[in-house]
Homo-oligomer: A and B are copies of this chain.
Amino acid sequence: MVMNRKCIIRLSRYKNALKRLKALGFVKVFSGNLADAAGVTSSQVRKDFSLFGITGNRRGGYKVDELITKIREILGKNELQKVVIIGVGNIGKALLRYKGFEAGGIKVIAGFDIDSTKYVETSEVPIYPLDNFREFVHDHDVKIGILAVPDVAAHHVSEIMISAGIKGILNFAPIQLRTADDVVISNINLEVELENLIYFVNAQGKTEEGA
């Protein structure tokens, strides 16, 4: 079992690239095509594939359809993945409405909030009180949750999520969640990302001067 996060992320990117290539009519691809599309080297592509036991034909490349299927298998995406969102503020609401997931086999099936003015059970994706969370997660066998509450609430809510049975959290709150070993956390911190950009843009300016 490959536990290298970067490698899994590249696998997702290969899959996305393959979908685009397929839409363009490609039936088979070479490692170099995928490398270009995903912004890596061809040997990186082949090495990644070899880690997962994905093989092609020497001199013949890889068949697009087979590759997509195999990658989806590895990523556990051949069955629909149900996701819930906790915190229906700016970000949470945007993700509830975002249509981009469904094509990829991910479906946001509900939102939860403590603010009762946000409850809407009739909309496309219903929004329930946080009190209903545990029952909902149990009934629908949900394993993945998106945490989009303000930072002061984040740790408390994450504990609610975990105790309800959530095993993977995509955390938008700008704090470092500390959790049990069997729960996987992915952090998206927009301020950190922007600070990163600012640093490298400034650095770029400096090295350009120097060159």
Task: Name the residue of chain B whose CB is nearest to the CB of A202.
Answer: B76
- Once A100-B190, A200-B168, A202-B76 are accepted as A-B contacts, the answer to whether A176 and B144 lie under 8 Å apart by CB is no
Contact A196 B5 (CB under 8 A): yes
A196 to chain B, nearest CB (A): 5
Which of the four size classes fits the interface of chain A? 35 or more
Q: Bound complex: CA of A207 vs CA of B196, how far in Å?
A: 35
Task: Please encode chain A, from 93 to 133, with 1 for each CB lying within 8 Å of some chain B CB and 0 for all others.
Answer: 11101101100101000000000000000000000000000
Q: Which residues of B contact A13 (CB under 8 A)?
A: 176, 189, 192
A175 to chain B, nearest CB (A): 8
- Once A5-B196, A8-B196 are accepted as A-B contacts, the answer to whether A190 and B37 lie under 8 Å apart by CB is no
Q: Which residues of B contact A75 (CB under 8 A)?
A: 195, 198-199
Copies of this chain, how many? 2
Asked if A77 lies at the interface with its beta carbon under 8 angstroms from chain B, I say yes
Contact B194 A81 (CB under 8 A): yes
A97 to chain B, nearest CB (A): 5
Q: Which residues of B contact A3 (CB under 8 A)?
A: 200, 203
Question: Which of these binds chain B: A61-69, A156-164, A180-188?
Answer: A180-188
Q: Bound complex: CA of A191 vs CA of B99, how far in Å?
A: 11
Choose among B12, B189, B197, B207 the residue that contacts A192 (Cβ–Cβ < 8 A): B12
Task: Name the residue of chain B whose CB is nearest to the CB of A194.
Answer: B106
Asked if A178 lies at the interface with its beta carbon under 8 angstroms from chain B, I say yes
Task: Name the residue of chain B whose CB is nearest to the CB of A178.
Answer: B39
Instruction: List A residues at the B interface (Cβ < 8 Å).
Output: 1, 3, 5, 8-9, 12-13, 16-17, 20, 37-39, 74-77, 81, 83, 90-91, 93-95, 97-98, 100-101, 104, 106, 143-144, 151, 167-170, 174-176, 178, 182, 184, 186, 188-208
